[in-house]
Every structure is written in C-alpha cells, then in structure tokens.
Chain A
Amino acid sequence: MLRPQARHLLNRLAFGPRELDLASAEGTSAQLWMARQLEPESIDDPVTAAQLEAYRTMLLPPAEMREAYFHTVRRPAPESPTGFLELRVLDRQRLIEDAQMVQFIRQVASERQVLEVMVDFWFNHFNVYALKNPVMVLVTDYIEHAIRPHALGHFEDLLIATAQHPAMLVYLDNRLSRAARAGGKKQKPRITENYARELLELHTLGVHGGYTQKDVIEVARILTGWTVQDLQHQSYAFAFKPKMHDFGPKVVLGVAYSPERGEEEGVELLKRLAVHPATARHLATKLCARFVDNPPPAGCIERLAQTHIDTRGDIRALLKTLIASPEFWQHEHSKLKSPNLYLVSAYRALGTVPKGAVEHAKLANAMGQPLLMQPAPTGYPDDAEGWSSTAGMLNRMNFALDLADRAVPKSPDAIDDARIVERINQSLFAGLASPATLDTLRTQVAEAVGVRQKLQTATALGLGSPDFQYY
C-alpha cells in the first residue's frame, strides 16, 4: 500500500495509525493486512495482556467480580457509641472506571485492531447502559463473552448471544416480561415490549424494515420467559423460565411459530431475523456509514447487503467486501472523529496512555461520549454535526493542551524547529498534514521559547488542529 492508503485503512479499521503500523501496512496489501487482522488469535498481543493485568478482577465472572468491588465506608450515625457506622457497599465509581479502562486499554494498545474496532461497533449496535442497575456488574462480561467472541463471526451468533445475556435482559427489561399465570384468575399477560421493539427496530430489521405493532407484540410473546436466573442473589446466568412463557401460537412477519417449544421458538425467531433481507440492508447501511462515509454511498450498501445475504451474515466476508469496494477508498479523511475515537487515536499517535482511568472517564464524559454510558438503545450517533459543537471543540482543544503537557518530557533533547514540525507531521498526520496546518505549526513553534515549550506547542496544536479531527 502507498502511504495515503495505509493511513486510510488504519484510520477506518483501526483506532488510528501508529508510526510502526504505517510502516508495516506499507509493506503489504490491504487484502493481506485485512486477512491477518481477521484471524486475531494468530496475532500476539503481549502489551495489551500486560496492561490488562492490573484489571484482572474486572475480568472475573460477574458475581465474583462484584464481591471484589465492595469496600467499607464510614457513615455518621448519631446513635452508635463512636458516632460512626461502618458499612460495606459496592464501590460503583471504581467499578465503572475499571470497566471503561479495560475497553480503553484494548482500543489503544491492542495489535488486534480490527477486532477491537468491531467490538466497539457491535457494542454500540447492541448498546446497554452501565448505570442501569445492575448492568455495571454485567457489562464487561457482556462485551467479553457476548460481543468479542462473535465480533468477527456470524451475525446470528452475535444476535443470540446478546439476546440471552443478562446485561441486555436487564437493560431492555425482557427479564420481567411474562405471560399470564396459568390457573390464576383471569389476568392480563404481563409482557413488556421494550426489548422486542428495539430488537426489530435497532438490532435487526431497521425502523422501516416492514414490521407492525402486532409483530412487536408477537415477538415480545415469543420471548416471554427469557430471563435471568436470580438477579437478587447474583445468579446472573441466562434462564428460560417456562412458567413465564406464553405457550400460545404466534405469527411474526407472516411466519407462524408452532407453540409449545418454549425457548426454541425464540432461537428460531432470532435466526430468521439475522438473515432477513431488511436486516442485511440495515446492517450494510450502518457499516457503510461508520466505515465509508455518512451519509453512506448507495453502491457500497448494495454490495454489503448482498454479501450479508450470500454468506448468511458472515462478518469477515462483510469486511472483505467493504475494503474491496471502490467507495471505501474514495472517501478518505471525510469523517469527523467521535470523541472516543479522537481520544484513542491521540493516545495511539503519541504512544501515551493516560495516567488513570478517572482522567479519561472525565474527558470522554465532558466530550459527550463516555464509554459504556449511553442511556439510549440507539447507541452513540455517527454524525459530524452532533460532535462539532462549540463545547465539543473547546473540549478537544483542552484535551490537546493537557496531553501535550504530559507527553513532552521535562528536559527534552535539543532539536531544531523544522524537525519538531516534521516530527509532529509524521506522528500525528502520517506525514500528510495540510499546508495550512504546517504553516501555523511553523510560525507558532518559532514564537515559542525553549525546546520543551516548542514541543508542547507543536503537539497541542497538532492534536487540536482541524486536520486531526478527521479520519
């Protein structure tokens, strides 16, 4: 690949290029680069493993992990002889920060970038909200066991895994949805259609995917009894509870589901939805919007939708089709980075990871995109207008200033002005910064006094420049 193509590929299918990634991508073709990335288990990733070591507890099964995040707090208690009461409570702050940090480390450090980009894409597609109780205890397990193993697999497996994960069952309330109790008095079914609706609208068919309100209710009926074993006692496994299930006949999108099969009905439904032509088109549109351009070009949507149908939702095949599409290569540097992508790509470019989770959580929060914390089931939006507000721009400039101060050593080696500008051009812009940005960098570096201030100025302006906001 030539430098511009290598940069483009690493911008879109990685969280931005590091200098060493550019060098190795230049030595191969886009197809071979992708083929290697699509076998993530064959890529060594020792740095990520080492950095995740500090978050070992976070990766334990949810119930054990939760135990490890209890801490003792002292609360004033006038009746007690000491005036204080010692209570053991869940340290929610530390828990959520660690959960964010695990994802963040993978995004910044992992050599398996296509996998991490797709984990991020699918998590956003199958969004859950960490602050809905007790999703924060479940969300890491959700990503590690429902999303990551299938992120480059088949869409059907991803769909079933998310549908049966307690994080989703809690987030969209399906765990509570139940049919009328048999033998009881005449009673209305106690179903909730929250998950059923988002399943059709957001996860599979799309809002104009041709379903009706009746279909939503029928889907909700099929999924009655899909619940969590025992949330109150931290028994977080998926459970199908026949007592809650509606065993009557149902029809979804004109297809009759023979009753009395319990959990199997729901699995059949999900399998049908996963390969439905409307799902193929909905996913193709979203993939093209994320990886090509927004609004997405029609030709690319066609090709991806066809691949989805031909391969019954093989995500590897979709990604191969994506980079084989001419549209993919025609829309370079055209998308505004989301706040999270901006942060992660900056850390990658400078080879610096933030000092602590708190700091990053605060930054992402201020920029409007904290990891794992989007309340709405739509996930975060993928549009430039929403991210280019006055507040958003100031936050980016502030981040650039802070990171530059931190990234530049206290007493840097002597280096002349021209080389400072060239160094920033290489590390942040793959050597392809715009003439206007280079001009300003030269002037401002010349005005700054001392090597450290010159380096800080160049780094801050580079990270905060219009050029670096795009990918």
Chain B
Amino acid sequence: MDEGHTTMFLTRRHFIQTAGLLLVPGTGSAAPQRKTLVCVCLRGGLDGLSAVVPYTDDAYFHARRSIAVPPVGAPNGVLPLDQSFGLHPALEPLLPLYQSKQLAIVHATGSPHPTRSHFEAQDYLETGVPGNALLDGWLNRYLSLGENHPFRAVAIANSVPRALRGGDPVIAMNNPARFGLRHGETRVSAFQSLYQNSNDPLAHAGVRALDTMREVRERTGGAYTAEGNYPKSGRRLMHVARLIKAGFDIEVAWVDVGGWDTHVGQSGPKSTLSRSLSVLGTSLAAFHADMGALMDSTLLVTFSEFGRAVAENGTSGTDHGHGGVMFLLGGPVNGGKVAGEWPGLGKKQLYRGRDLDVTTDYRRVLTEVLTNHLGVPNVEHVFPGFAYPGGLDLVRAS
C-alpha cells in the first residue's frame, strides 16, 4: 500500500469524525462541504407530457382530448415556464425554484431501450445498462470508485433499491427516528456477539445494522423540526434532510415516490396524477427549504422508468410509453430552462408511431451530474458502453 493512500485515508477518517460538529447549517463552516446527490425514483412511469406540458403544441391537445391540462389562464391551467413548456398546476411549488434558476428540466429523456415493461425498464434504469438486467446498480458502481465509509449511501426504504445494490455497503432505513432495537442495550450486545461469531454473509448485514443503529440514535435523538412543509405522504425526503443536517456524511441518498402508473385517473385536479404531482412538487420544495444553505452542495435528480403514450387511452389515462421528463434541483444546477431537443408530437415524429421519442439518453444527464457535481473522472465504469456526447449545461462544474 502506498503512503499517499494511507494519508488520504487518515484525513478522511478525521473528516468523518469531525463532520458532525462542523456541518451545522448556516454556520458557514470552513470545512469543504461534502457533495451530495439525492435520487428520487418515480416508479410506475411518470407522464412527462402532463408534468411538463408542451402547451403550444396542438398535437398535445388533440391527442389528449379529455385529459389535457387546460391551457394557460384557464382554471387549473398550465403554468408557463417558457414559450413552449409549462408546469402542471399541481407542480406549482416548483415554479419559484425554476424562476430562481435552481430547477432545470430535461424533456424527451429516458432509456433508448424499447421495453414497455415496468420491471424490465426499472431494472435497466437501475443497472444503468439498458438491455442488461443482470448487473449491479449503477450507483453502487459509482460508490466503488471512492472510499467507503458507513453513511456514504442511504436509501430511505425497507430494502436497498436495485440501483444501489452491489459490493459496496448501503444503508436502508425507513425512518431515522424509528431506527432502533427495542429492549435496551443488553440485547444489542447479545445480537452483536451472535452476528460477529458467524461466518455467514448475512452476518455483515446484521453487524452493520447494529452499528448503524447506534450511530443514528446518538446523532438524531429528540424531535425534528423541519424547515419546510413536507406533505404527509412525502416525508422520505425529510428523513434525508434530517440525516444530512445531523452531520452524516451522505454522498448518495435514494427515495422512491410512487403513484405514476396512471392507466386511469389523469383528468382534473382531483385525479390520481394531480395528487401524485402535488406530493412530488410539495416535497421537493420542502426539501429545498429544509436544507437551506446545504442545498448549495446538494443536487437532487428525478427519473422514472419510462414516459407514457402520447394519446390518451379509453379510460381517462395513458398506457406505458417511451420518452419522459427529468427534474434537477439544487445550488449546483444551471436551472431556469427546459433542456433537451424536442422531437415533436406529429405522427411521424413519434417513437414507433405512438410515444414521445427519447432525444436525451437518461445516462447523458446522469453522466453530467456525476462528472460536474461529484467529480467522477471515469464515468465509463458507471455506465459501461455508453458513449457520452457531452453535457447539456445543466450542472455547474465544481
């Protein structure tokens, strides 16, 4: 082992040990703030055309006679962002963030793979190699490039999502406030010895669970007062903010937000889609407010396994489609724009005659995030086989 590596390791250890004291929001600490990436996975297939409406395109209103978002100015109408696109009214909380250039949107983005199967498309989204469902997750490959430390990657979930699975350890917890072992310390040490004495691969998970628990307890004790107004069903991002604000040195966080498989129920302000978008918009804005100055070094990105068909189906909804939309939020974002080449909604412009085409591979967006925000030099390792055509000027180089 060369000396340089050892020194770096010691420095990192030192940083980890002191981070909890230094990273209090708003104190303007001198320590360089850890860059954080927050991934919000919208499972089910978000309808990008409803979230970010091409409101000047007649083809949109034509294809969506009964479920189109009403025009600008109409009750519950589109909130214009620029000359071509506007937000769904339920995403109103995102409007000020767009205006302050902290929110960027990429439209007609997604995976080049034609599958319309949820689980296949989600597998590909998470392996980072469309067509290959057998690999580890792309985020775990990212983790393998850097130095490991206990709280580097956290999923607010019952189980580790595919994108984070692989050789590097990842923490999964539903809620830091309830992450503990009942019946006190004596039992903890009994379990500790049980798992430490075992050769089983599961033993690592067991020991890690107990260590993690101890640390979360020590550092997030007491009630949490969020600085933002999270919706009741959108508190997973609050848990992320809580852990980061408690000084946990989180590099990658992951939350799932569901409710997007809208074969039915896309019409009107009380529809499933409106409610899901409202939860999304409100919780993203709350997270932004809650994080405060920490947002300067945090980038949040959303993605979904595919968009939905351009034409409405017979049940006031849309079936599985192709191209969709991604949101990027945070200080490092070069926001206030809807990026990506717009393929159009004309019959001949549609993917396989029915879906919004993908003009921006989702890996292109994520590569720019990894390169500019997290400073990854070798993205080929994270997205093997992907030829990066350069960024879309979405993320400022740090």
Contacts and interface: CB of A to CB of B under 8 A. Distances in A.
B245 interface: no
B206 A393 contact: yes
B202 interface: yes
Contacts of A460: 187, 190
Contact of B158 (A189, A201, A366, A385): A366
B116 interface: yes
B198 A176 contact: no
Contacts of B174: 366, 391
A368 B180 CA distance: 16
Interface stretch (A266-274, A280-288, A309-317, A394-402): A394-402
Q: Tell which of A188, A366, A440, A443 has the most Cβ of chain B within 10 Å.
A: A440
A402 B198 CA distance: 23
A443 B193 contact: yes
A257 interface: no
Interface stretch (B95-103, B222-230, B280-288, B312-320): B312-320
A394 B157 contact: no
B317 A192 contact: yes
B352 A213 contact: yes
A220 to B, nearest CB: 9
A385 B160 contact: yes
Given A177-B314, A386-B159, A192 B191 contact: no
Interface string A357-389: 000000000111000000111100000011111
B122 to A, nearest CB: 9
Interface string B312-334: 01110101100000000000000
Contact of A386 (B160, B183, B190): B160
B173 A397 contact: no
B395 interface: no
Interface in A156-213: 173, 176-178, 188-194, 197, 201, 207, 213
B296 to A, nearest CB: 29
Interface residues of B, number: 53
A419 B319 CA distance: 62
Interface string B186-222: 0100110111011110110110111011000000000
Most A CB within 10 A of own CB, among B157, B198, B208: B198
A439 B117 contact: no
A437 interface: yes
A364 to B, nearest CB: 11
B313 A390 contact: no
Secondary structure type dominating chain B contacts: loop
Interface residues of A, number: 54
A457 to B, nearest CB: 7
Interface in B152-191: 155, 157-160, 165, 170-174, 179-183, 187, 190-191
Given A389-B172, A397-B181, A466-B200, A176 B315 contact: yes
Contact of A173 (B179, B180, B263): B263
B59 interface: no
Contacts of B158: 366-368, 389, 391-392
A465 B119 contact: no
A390 B172 contact: yes
Nearest to B353: A213
A191 B311 CA distance: 12
A466 B196 CA distance: 10
Among A173, A178, A391, A443, chain B packs the most CB atoms within 10 A around the CB of: A391
A335 to B, nearest CB: 12
B314 A190 contact: yes
A192 B319 CA distance: 7
A461 interface: yes
B341 to A, nearest CB: 25
A390 B171 contact: yes
A469 interface: yes
A336 interface: yes
Contacts of B202: 336, 388, 393, 466, 469-470
Nearest to B183: A401
Contacts of B352: 213
B314 A191 contact: yes
B120 A207 contact: yes
Given A378-B118, A466-B198, A466-B203, A391 B191 contact: no
Contact of B116 (A197, A392, A439): A197
B264 interface: yes
Contact of B197 (A189, A336, A440): A440
A190 B315 contact: yes
B258 interface: yes
Contacts of B212: 390
Contacts of A16: none
A394 B190 CA distance: 13
- Which of B158, B183, B213, B264 counts the most A-chain CB atoms under 10 A from its CB? B158
Nearest to A388: B205
A436 interface: yes
A56 to B, nearest CB: 33
A142 B119 CA distance: 24
B205 A402 contact: no
A298 B120 CA distance: 22
Contacts of B181: 394, 397-398, 401
A92 to B, nearest CB: 16
A464 interface: yes
B165 A385 contact: yes
Contact of A192 (B119, B180, B206, B313): B313
Interface in B83-119: 115-119
Nearest to A466: B200
B267 to A, nearest CB: 13
A306 interface: no
Given A192-B315, A192-B319, A376-B119, A391 B157 contact: yes
B315 A173 contact: yes
A381 to B, nearest CB: 9
A426 interface: no
Contacts of A457: 190
Contacts of A366: 158, 174
A175 to B, nearest CB: 9
A394 B199 contact: no
Contacts of B183: 401, 405
Nearest to A176: B315
Given A385-B160, A440-B197, A194 B319 contact: yes
A48 interface: no
Given A176-B264, A336-B202, A190 B120 contact: no
Contacts of B155: 389
Interface string A437-457: 101100110000000000001
Contact of A391 (B165, B179, B194, B195): B179
Contacts of B119: 207, 376, 378
29 contacts: A173-B315, A176-B264, A178-B314, A188-B314, A191-B314, A192-B317, A197-B320, A207-B115, A366-B174, A368-B159, A377-B118, A378-B119, A386-B159, A389-B155, A389-B157, A389-B160, A390-B172, A390-B205, A391-B158, A391-B173, A393-B206, A394-B180, A397-B191, A401-B187, A440-B190, A440-B194, A443-B193, A444-B190, A466-B202
Given A391-B158, A394-B179, A465-B198, 7 more contacts: A197-B320, A366-B174, A387-B159, A389-B172, A390-B205, A394-B213, A464-B194
Interface of B: 43, 115-120, 155, 157-160, 165, 170-174, 179-183, 187, 190-191, 193-195, 197-200, 202-203, 205-206, 208-210, 212-213, 258, 263-264, 311, 313-315, 317, 319-320, 352
Interface of A: 173, 176-178, 188-194, 197, 201, 207, 213, 336, 366-368, 375-378, 385-394, 397-398, 401-402, 405, 434, 436-437, 439-440, 443-444, 457, 460-461, 464-467, 469-470
Q: What are the 8 closest A-B residue pairs judged by CB atoms, nearest first?
A: A190-B314, A368-B158, A389-B172, A393-B209, A466-B200, A176-B315, A390-B209, A386-B159
